Chain A
Amino acid sequence: MDYQYYDEESDYIDVDEEELAAAGGLDYGYGKPLDEEVEDYYLGGGEDEEAAYHNGGLVERLPQILHSCVKPSLLQVLQYMAPMLLLCLVCRLLCLLYARRGHLSQNQFQSLRMAPLHLIHLGCGLTLLHFSVGYRLWLLLLLAVVGYLLLQLLRLGRHGAQLLAMLTIGSQFLYELLIWRNRSDWPQLRGIQMVVNMKLISLGFDLTSGGGGNQLTKGIPNPLAYLGYIYSPATCALGPWVSYGSYSNCLVPRSSWLLSLRRTVANAVLCLLTVTVSNCLAPLLSDLAGGWHFLAMYTDALSVRSSHYFVGFIAQALLVVTDQRLDDARESELLGPLVAQPWRIEWPRSISALVRSWNIPMHEWLKRYIYTPCKTTGRHSRMQGLLAIFCTYLVSSLLHGMDLRIYLVLISLAVFAAGESLLRRHLSSVLNACLSANLCPGAERCRYSNCPSKLGSWASVSGCLVQLANLGFTALAIFHLAYLGVVLMGDSLESGVGTAEEEGFLWHWKQAGYLSHYIGVGTIVLYLFIS
């Protein structure tokens, strides 16, 4: 076949000459003018335009982002959220209908007449989970049965509860090891199973503690009530933890529909907003941040944070729809029960305040079942506090499963938070100023004299100084937050192409020179020095 080519070549050289002749006669624009144009191209700086096209300003890239990221993300989130909200609504309606017909009074727990309510919750919850995780639901059910068997340990008393807690956390590790091979399974189930474990442990402690105050939850709940609690549609998929007591208190919804509707809409809107920030806006800002490493870190961490807010807002929406209340009394008028308080995280007073607002129910759980018992069993007051903090963070890390990154972040958080609050407490008592990690409770109850709420924020010099110091601590907390949050970025991304960043999740820390850790250790050293 190849001869054909040479054949044609000779042909086309002929034509070429023809054309050249034609170029001389007809189309003279080949010589001089062309040269000019080439010069034009070369010197004319088409390069600038090009750079603008490729790097792209914010304004230029917004429409593109809107189309390629915002739209698909919102679409998928809506697809995910709508059935969940609908199921929760169905659950609420059914419960309400049953309560109307059966004339239930509130002190009939454990009675058979409550069974249909548990059944409704269980049915809705399982449907929701089936929608969310598909066939893996069977695995979850199996784990729930194991959990119920473990619950029988409570017959041993208080120690049974502790044993239950340890076994639950241990079993989570076991599942993780077993299911680890199917990597796609576990990250999805982990969050769900974590909530289940928290419920299980809290149930154990609640049932065995004498001073819980809630006498109704004595005696192990029947399997239906147990499953209804574990798989209540409001809390099964995305958390948060609720205690068995508040679950059974809210079996019959009481809030007004209008209030619920308003709160649901507010939560849903915020949820869409945060997912947009997390998916599209934060990466865009991160791209634009370019050279400055802290900014890149901050925007990357912003993506992580807003992802957390997104989950929190969905969870809040589900809670509102089913009219499930949380154990913590904090309720916002606009949003209902609060899972996270983004405004306190984005502008934190201190790291410990930040940690408390990150996941309020989880914080409540840790405080109630880990921190307080640990604190009361110890002897020396200061060591006791530290031990309790350490215990809390240990349990919290273990609950999260086997994830080195989370261990590192939580341990760092524990150290930073402890160091900061110790230092600030000491400083505030030495300087007699409102510098402690927690916000002063108000002008009357503040123990210190140099308090902005007493003096007026910026009125006096000392007030100014106190404000500035607190501002500095806030800035430090923001820096810590960006530094720690960025590590959790890119969680379980399984893109087809291995990205270069995956070489180590510590890359950002290395890039920042482990600055945050030095600062964290520095605060502790400073505290030890001055105390």
Chain B
Amino acid sequence: MDISYIFVICLMALCSGGSGFSPVEGKQKSGRGRGSMWWGIAKVGEPNNITPIMYMDPAIHSTLRRKQRRLVRDNPGVLGALVKGANLAISECQHQFRNRRWNCSTRNFSRGKNLFGKIVDRGCRETSFIYAITSAAVTHSIARACSEGTIESCTCDYSHQSRSPQANHQAGSVAGVRDWEWGGCSDNIGFGFKFSREFVDTGERGRNLREKMNLHNNEAGRAHVQAEMRQECKCHGMSGSCTVKTCWMRLANFRVIGDNLKARFDGATRVQVSNSLRASNVLPGLSPNAAGSSSVGSNGLILPQSVVYGEEEERMLNDHMPDMLLENSHPNNKIHHPNMPSPNSLPQGGQRARNGRRQGRKHNRYHFQLNPHNPEHKPPGSKDLVYLEPSPSFCEKNLRHGILGTHGRQCNETSLGVDGCGLMCCGRGYRRDEVVVVERCACTFHWCCEVKCKLCRTKKVIYTCL
């Protein structure tokens, strides 16, 4: 009863929008779910609902943090996109993991609980994917909503119009090129990116390793969205010449981003040690890990990457899209090579100086480097996913860790992969059922715009894990 009392108090504090967090709440939520409660809005409002979802809705109110509520209030129309984005993330996650033991199940959402369950409490691969995909989905849906005009505070991104794509290559061509500029209503990735940072990263302050992991994965999700942004152009002119050219930017289908993130999930890096460069007054020698474990990479390895982070951020904030389309376009990324530690002497000094300048400008929580658990692996790049601990087997139900187990899951008898009955059921065996399935079949298209189908009954064999 005592606990529940505290819980209710917490809720009241949240609902009233009171200043700051009570120490009790701070204690309770520390470590993991800090920035992830907003996922709950996926279950609050229906995404297809045309009527605007009010931010005063108590259910929404309770899932959002104070800063997030402010963001939603200040940007009318953003809430619908957020709900859409959260649902997009869930459906994409469930699509990507449909054949795995952990199938991205969401729990019966209730206040104060995490949407994806307690798996989020562990810093495992699956968690890293959840963070990345949710952050990516928010970036994506906000950017798209921007270009669709449903968010009032952002309009079509006309920042491209003042610049010619060739301007970098030819010194003389900057002035007076009118119709070669690309403009128009691009998906406003800049706004989506910034908003996602503000909104998604609210709770992650990068103070401990887990928060750094979350930050890194959030950033990775956004980086994937940004990398998948495409420019589409068309030329018109006499016989294929290019007298008139029209261009616009398009965000890729979210499935592509989901696929890319899944690939990164498969090759995710386990990280171990955090080195904060944000606190510039912390001397390397005093850093506890330097004294503790000797296996971690030297600071010489760390610094270039941190500069890459800084540069990358600057580019993102400047909306300099063409460069973003090319990964590793920045020369610093070439310095940062897995097997090539940068020389400790000169470049480091220069980079440190630049780093310092940047810190003077802005307090930055994105300045950090995560080191791989296995020192022989290369450090994670900005688009890689990182995790802290190995994943559980997900075989048996473990409520303590929010694992549902694979009991009762369907499996594929013929497959040798993770969806095969052998792996999926963890060797417990499986049951064979014959089911009559009623489905729509022999669909025909009638002009115009009506599809008529028959109902067919087919026998299907279903295998279920014991």
Chain B residues near A9 (CB, 8 Å)? 31
> Is B185 a contact partner of A72 (Cβ separation < 8 A)?
yes
Chain B stretch 181-217: residues in CB contact (< 8 A) with chain A: 183-187, 207-210
> Is A1 a contact partner of B246 (Cβ separation < 8 A)?
no
> Is B280 positioned at the interface, with any CB of A under 8 Å from its CB?
no
> Is B274 positioned at the interface, with any CB of A under 8 Å from its CB?
yes
Chain A residues near B374 (CB, 8 Å)? none
Q: In the assembly, what is the distance between CA of A76 and CA of B253, in Å?
A: 25
Q: Would A237 and B243 be within 8 Å (CB), given that A4-B208, A50-B95, A75-B184 are in contact?
A: yes
Annotate A131-146 by CB proximity to B: 1 below 8 A, 0 otherwise: 1101100000000000
Query: Would you list 29 pairs from A and B whose C-beta atoms are within 8 A, ordered by A residue?
Result: A1-B274, A4-B207, A11-B30, A12-B31, A12-B121, A20-B400, A22-B3, A30-B107, A34-B404, A43-B410, A54-B253, A67-B149, A67-B185, A69-B232, A71-B185, A72-B184, A73-B234, A80-B244, A135-B177, A182-B170, A184-B166, A187-B242, A188-B242, A238-B243, A307-B234, A311-B236, A359-B239, A493-B234, A495-B232
Chain A residues near B170 (CB, 8 Å)? 182, 184
> Is B241 a contact partner of A68 (Cβ separation < 8 A)?
no
Chain B stretch 88-104: residues in CB contact (< 8 A) with chain A: 91, 94-95, 98, 103
Q: Would A69 and B95 be within 8 Å (CB), given that A30-B399, A496-B326 are in contact?
A: no
> Is B209 a contact partner of A194 (Cβ separation < 8 A)?
no
Chain A stretch 178-211: residues in CB contact (< 8 A) with chain B: 182, 184, 187-188, 190-192, 194-195
Chain A residues near B94 (CB, 8 Å)? 41, 46
> Is A495 a contact partner of B121 (Cβ separation < 8 A)?
no
Annotate B391-405 by CB proximity to A: 1 below 8 A, 0 otherwise: 000000001100010
> Is A72 a contact partner of B30 (Cβ separation < 8 A)?
no
> Is B163 positioned at the interface, with any CB of A under 8 Å from its CB?
no
> Is B148 a contact partner of A64 (Cβ separation < 8 A)?
yes
**Residue of A at shortest CB range from B240?**
A491
> Is B230 a contact partner of A495 (Cβ separation < 8 A)?
yes
Chain B residues near A331 (CB, 8 Å)? none
> Is B236 a contact partner of A275 (Cβ separation < 8 A)?
yes
7 further A-B pairs in the complex, CB-CB below 8 A; given A5-B210, A25-B3: A46-B94, A67-B148, A72-B185, A73-B248, A75-B184, A132-B178, A496-B230
CB < 8 Å neighbour of A72 from B110, B241, B246:
B246
Q: In the assembly, what is the distance between CA of A462 and CA of B105, in Å?
A: 70
**B352 shortest CB reach to chain A, Å:** 19
> Is B108 a contact partner of A73 (Cβ separation < 8 A)?
no
**B91 shortest CB reach to chain A, Å:** 5
> Is A403 positioned at the interface, with any CB of B under 8 Å from its CB?
yes
Chain A residues near B153 (CB, 8 Å)? none
> Is B233 positioned at the interface, with any CB of A under 8 Å from its CB?
yes
**Residue of A at shortest CB range from B95?**
A50
Chain B residues near A68 (CB, 8 Å)? 147-148, 185, 187, 248, 250
> Is B429 positioned at the interface, with any CB of A under 8 Å from its CB?
no
Please tell me the size bucket of the interface on B. Answer: 35 or more
> Is A15 a contact partner of B241 (Cβ separation < 8 A)?
no
**B418 shortest CB reach to chain A, Å:** 15
**Residue of B at shortest CB range from A72?**
B184
CB < 8 Å neighbour of B110 from A27, A237, A311:
A27
Annotate B155-192 by CB proximity to A: 1 below 8 A, 0 otherwise: 01000000001100010110111111001111100000
**Residue of B at shortest CB range from A50?**
B91
Annotate A12-33 by CB proximity to B: 1 below 8 A, 0 otherwise: 1001111011110111011101
**B441 shortest CB reach to chain A, Å:** 14
> Is B234 a contact partner of A132 (Cβ separation < 8 A)?
no
**B316 shortest CB reach to chain A, Å:** 16
> Is B246 a contact partner of A135 (Cβ separation < 8 A)?
no
**Residue of B at shortest CB range from A5?**
B209
The dominant DSSP class at the A interface is helix
Chain B stretch 378-412: residues in CB contact (< 8 A) with chain A: 388, 399-400, 404, 408-410
Chain B stretch 250-269: residues in CB contact (< 8 A) with chain A: 250, 253-255
> Is B44 positioned at the interface, with any CB of A under 8 Å from its CB?
no
Task: Enumerate chain B interface residues (CB-CB to A < 8 A).
Answer: 1, 3-4, 7, 27-28, 30-32, 91, 94-95, 98, 103, 105-108, 110, 113, 118, 121, 147-149, 156, 165-166, 170, 172-173, 175-180, 183-187, 207-210, 230-248, 250, 253-255, 272-276, 287-289, 292, 322, 325-326, 388, 399-400, 404, 408-410, 449
Q: In the assembly, what is the distance between CA of A239 and CA of B237, in Å?
A: 9
> Is A15 a contact partner of B240 (Cβ separation < 8 A)?
no
**A2 shortest CB reach to chain B, Å:** 5
> Is A332 positioned at the interface, with any CB of B under 8 Å from its CB?
no
**A446 shortest CB reach to chain B, Å:** 35
> Is A99 positioned at the interface, with any CB of B under 8 Å from its CB?
no
Chain B residues near A190 (CB, 8 Å)? 237, 241-242
Chain B residues near A50 (CB, 8 Å)? 91, 95
Chain B residues near A43 (CB, 8 Å)? 410
> Is B243 a contact partner of A8 (Cβ separation < 8 A)?
no
Chain A residues near B253 (CB, 8 Å)? 54
Chain A residues near B173 (CB, 8 Å)? 135, 184
**Residue of A at shortest CB range from B409?**
A42
> Is B235 a contact partner of A491 (Cβ separation < 8 A)?
yes
Chain A residues near B107 (CB, 8 Å)? 30, 34, 37
Chain A residues near B149 (CB, 8 Å)? 67
CB < 8 Å neighbour of B235 from A17, A25, A359, A492:
A492
Chain A residues near B165 (CB, 8 Å)? 494, 496
**Residue of B at shortest CB range from A77?**
B246
> Is B273 a contact partner of A135 (Cβ separation < 8 A)?
no
CB < 8 Å neighbour of A495 from B28, B233, B239, B243:
B233
**Residue of A at shortest CB range from B273?**
A2
Chain A residues near B207 (CB, 8 Å)? 4
> Is B240 a contact partner of A403 (Cβ separation < 8 A)?
yes
Q: In the assembly, what is the distance between CA of A190 and CA of B232, in Å?
A: 22
Q: Would A131 and B178 be within 8 Å (CB), given that A4-B207, A73-B246, A494-B165 are in contact?
A: yes
CB < 8 Å neighbour of A8 from B30, B248, B408:
B30
Chain B residues near A182 (CB, 8 Å)? 170
> Is A367 positioned at the interface, with any CB of B under 8 Å from its CB?
no
Per CB-CB distance, the 7 closest pairs between chain A and chain B, nearest first, are A72-B184, A191-B241, A134-B176, A496-B325, A187-B242, A191-B238, A5-B209
Chain A residues near B180 (CB, 8 Å)? 134, 184, 188
> Is A1 a contact partner of B27 (Cβ separation < 8 A)?
no
**Residue of B at shortest CB range from A20?**
B400
Chain A residues near B245 (CB, 8 Å)? 188
Chain A residues near B272 (CB, 8 Å)? 2
> Is B248 a contact partner of A72 (Cβ separation < 8 A)?
yes
Q: In the assembly, what is the distance between CA of A16 and CA of B170, in Å?
A: 60
Chain A residues near B410 (CB, 8 Å)? 42-43
Q: In the assembly, what is the distance between CA of A9 and CA of B274, in Å?
A: 15
> Is B105 a contact partner of A41 (Cβ separation < 8 A)?
yes
**B236 shortest CB reach to chain A, Å:** 5
Chain A residues near B326 (CB, 8 Å)? 496
